[in-house]
Structure 1
């Protein structure tokens, strides 16, 4: 008998249930080795299905959140402000414009915000704040502009209809009606000289959703308050609260943010909004949002359903990345302020930027100087904020037509213009080789000196304008393109009332805010005073 037949017989016997222990033990040994492998394979398959299913669900939910976000054009107006160059560490400041719209174009907003006769009307931006995050992400500043501040609104094009709105002078909240949030952004850039990276806008319903998702925001009033209509004073937000501290959410949170009469003015309302914003930041920082999936989901839903954003940040990932940049700033390095203003000499119901003080605030933003004393001095930041100029060389000075405008009265019209300023500066330019420089007979009141050039002239026009600015010492950050000029134009602002060389601008030190900015540190809780007629 061959060895092979013996093997074969052994296998057959073993297979038929014989008593060959070795053979049977082999089968049992096979089961012990095979079953774990099969179990592992099944476990791996199930795990793969779960992972893929979860990933698919996650992807679908991510797409759902992205689908919630409404996007719009970043800039729909005339603005030649340049983005700051990175500092030595490759960092740039981050500037975000936050807008609160009074839109009544939904049932929810009408219910929350008032009159049905405004349904279908273009909304106004009654809340406007610039959030500035320093290049090193160690401090942040918020500057509000009251809604009734009279400013120059540039030419804007409505991105939805294509309608073009000419340049005008009006209160700043109307800019939203003249080309959407992108026009409001352009208005801010022209007013401040600050490049704004993004905008975000929320309406009445969005405020309620966000307040509820956060779980409420703590606010405080010194007296019982009821913001209601009074004889001769219609309107009112409806806010009714007992004196002391209370967590507001839903409709009451919106009422807090809209209260104006009971806090005496738009400036008081801005202060109350700053207190709310500080409290909201403290609340979010105190919550374990990223370890609480339920809270994170509700916040993500509320945020994406509530916000309209500029198109370049119109995804969940980009909004998350922005949030992470803000998250690094300590609470006590947030500073809330309002742009210094004075009553408008043309209309007692309006405001205008306060000369010197307002531009000092914007200078600190432009130069990335911290609003609190915990920051570094501004010398290094100022240098990093100036863009490095590239492009074609300027045309020969003698061949450039330059118009010089006397704007020394300032936009607030509280100062008398300085006589013959345009002629004096035109003469200085002629001496510098710009033989075609001429003084305009028409004044153009401006609080800030600037050099403008035709937008249609592109890079060459900018190079020519920069050569004019350099000849009289005007910083390159005050050179911009506009649509309504035909030659390079130097407008002498109220910040240059004497001399033929633009006065050197000193960079403020950290924390050197004017008192009129009404600063509030993020760590301060504060308590709002109530105007006497609205106490109960």
Structure 2
């Protein structure tokens, strides 16, 4: 046997090694590519499923919210209307209150009619940079035009009567005709808000802060509120805006002022970051709000309401104002009022899409002033004292004027059942 060792296996050359490496890389690439494609396919399926689910949820809530809005056509009752040319101009919306929708919810406690006597003419400027709501007193004596009765039994001839009789006789259509008759302002749309919806809207926001200047025990309306500044529930909020005589010395006028103050605070709460950034709270509020509304068909589309809301996103709460139309005592009956000549100027500004006059604006409640005072008169006096130093250089007359204005504001607040 030969002692020669067997030859060592021939080592592959560099070219062979490169070819082998290339084959391995191709195999790995094919395997990785297949794995990546499988992963991408799974991810794509998940994305599509999520999109379908989320899209379905969105579509459901969209249809649900739009379905909540009750539509009421009043075109037949209103008769022929003037044609409005184009779109994107100023908008006038008549906001009314009602006890409850037929067959929905429970009756409101007590015997006071409450929000069924609330009427606010809301004007939105063409550039959507201003909004102001004008409250019309329920006890105002007005010339009401002929209206179709809401029970379908013919028409009512109208005549000199109390303003809130319009809703009782012919519902929203008659109220619209009456407001247009006394103001010469064209009403584009109307909204009716019911009691139960109002209650639920407040609860959906987690309550709204109010200041009650004194304890309320109104056995007639079954309304009881404790004194102080606190968050009210929906039921308490309803009591706060309904009570007429227990808080204010001027009855319905004070109640309107409290309603304006409360609505301003409610708007501020609704557009706050705490509501908009909380999906659960936002959905609850939108569900409650749409469930509370009855509108004309032209205002019942959620897409149109969303578009309107988007156009108002930069309005600023300081430009959302509420006030009462100027009025005076009705001579034949001191328990009634009538619109004063100054009301013509307010309606003229609405017709011409102009901002409120400076003097009128100073009396308005702004949505930006959403935090009520504590009811202690210290802050108001403090403002007067700080004004003393400012006014000293201008002389004693200026000082006396500032003090007089402060006292007048305090007195108006007390008369209206608000904290001074």
Shift of 1:512: 4.6
Q: 252, 257, 276: which one pairs with 2:241?
A: 257
Per-residue CA deviations over 1:391-440 (Å, capped at 9, x if unaligned) read: xxxxxxxxxxxxxxxxxxxxxxxxxxxxxxxxxxxxxxxxxxxxxxxxxx
Shift of 1:142: 1.3
- Partner Cα distance (1:522, 1:29) in 2: 64
Shift of 1:147: 1.2
Decide whether aligned partners of structure 1 residues 526 and 27 sit closer, same or farther in structure 2, where only a CA change above 3 A counts.
closer
Shift of 1:519: 3.0
Q: How does 1:77-226 map to 2 (within 5 A)?
A: 77-78=77-78, 82=82, 91-103=88-100, 105-106=102-103, 108-110=105-107, 112-114=108-110, 125-157=116-148, 162-169=152-159, 170-222=161-213, 224-226=214-216
Q: 351, 359, 384: which one pairs with 2:344?
A: 359
Q: 300, 304, 309: which one pairs with 1:323?
A: 309
Query: Corresponding residue for 2:293?
Result: 307
Decide whether aligned partners of structure 1 residues 38 and 56 sit closer, same or farther in structure 2, where only a CA change above 3 A counts.
same
Query: Corresponding residue for 2:358?
Result: 511
Shift of 1:256: 0.8
Per-residue CA deviations over 1:55-111 (Å, capped at 9, x if unaligned) read: 12221221111111101125554577757767xxx852121111111348457441x
Query: Corresponding residue for 1:505?
Result: none
Q: Aligned residue pairs: how many? A: 358
Shift of 1:342: 2.5
Per-residue CA deviations over 1:332-370 (Å, capped at 9, x if unaligned) read: 22222111222334444322212x111121112112221
Q: How does 1:452-471 map to 2 (within 5 A)?
A: none
Query: Corresponding residue for 1:376?
Result: none
- Do 2:257 and 2:416's aligned partners in 1 also have CA atoms closer than 8 Å? no
Q: 261, 284, 291: which one pairs with 1:275?
A: 261
Decide whether aligned partners of structure 1 residues 226 and 512 sit closer, same or farther in structure 2, where only a CA change above 3 A counts.
closer
- Gap runs ≥5 in structure 1: 1-19, 230-234, 372-509
Q: 306, 315, 319: which one pairs with 1:333?
A: 319
Shift of 1:321: 2.5
- Partner Cα distance (1:347, 1:103) in 2: 31
The root-mean-square deviation of aligned C-alpha atoms, in Å, is 3.3
Of residues 181-190 and 249-258 in structure 1, the stretch that sits farther from structure 2 once superposed is 181-190
What TM-score do the two structures reach when normalised by structure 1? 0.60
SS of 1:278 mapped into structure 2: helix
- Partner Cα distance (2:89, 2:176) in 1: 19
- Partner Cα distance (1:319, 1:21) in 2: 66
Q: How does 1:414-493 map to 2 (within 5 A)?
A: none
- Do 1:74 and 1:198's aligned partners in 2 also have CA atoms closer than 8 Å? no
- Do 1:361 and 1:514's aligned partners in 2 also have CA atoms closer than 8 Å? no
- Gap runs ≥5 in structure 2: 1-19, 376-412
- Partner Cα distance (2:361, 2:64) in 1: 46
For the pair 1:520 / 2:365, whether they are aligned, the reply is yes
- Partner Cα distance (1:341, 1:323) in 2: 32
Shift of 1:258: 0.3
Decide whether aligned partners of structure 1 residues 27 and 526 sit closer, same or farther in structure 2, where only a CA change above 3 A counts.
closer
Decide whether aligned partners of structure 1 residues 136 and 95 sit closer, same or farther in structure 2, where only a CA change above 3 A counts.
same
Shift of 1:167: 3.0
- Partner Cα distance (1:278, 1:531) in 2: 19
- Partner Cα distance (1:227, 1:85) in 2: 52
Decide whether aligned partners of structure 1 residues 29 and 338 sit closer, same or farther in structure 2, where only a CA change above 3 A counts.
closer
- Partner Cα distance (1:207, 1:250) in 2: 7
SS of 2:132 mapped into structure 1: strand
- Do 1:81 and 1:194's aligned partners in 2 also have CA atoms closer than 8 Å? no
- Partner Cα distance (1:180, 1:171) in 2: 14
Of residues 332-341 and 139-148 in structure 1, the stretch that sits farther from structure 2 once superposed is 332-341
- Partner Cα distance (1:532, 1:511) in 2: 22
Shift of 1:251: 0.3
- Partner Cα distance (2:95, 2:416) in 1: 31
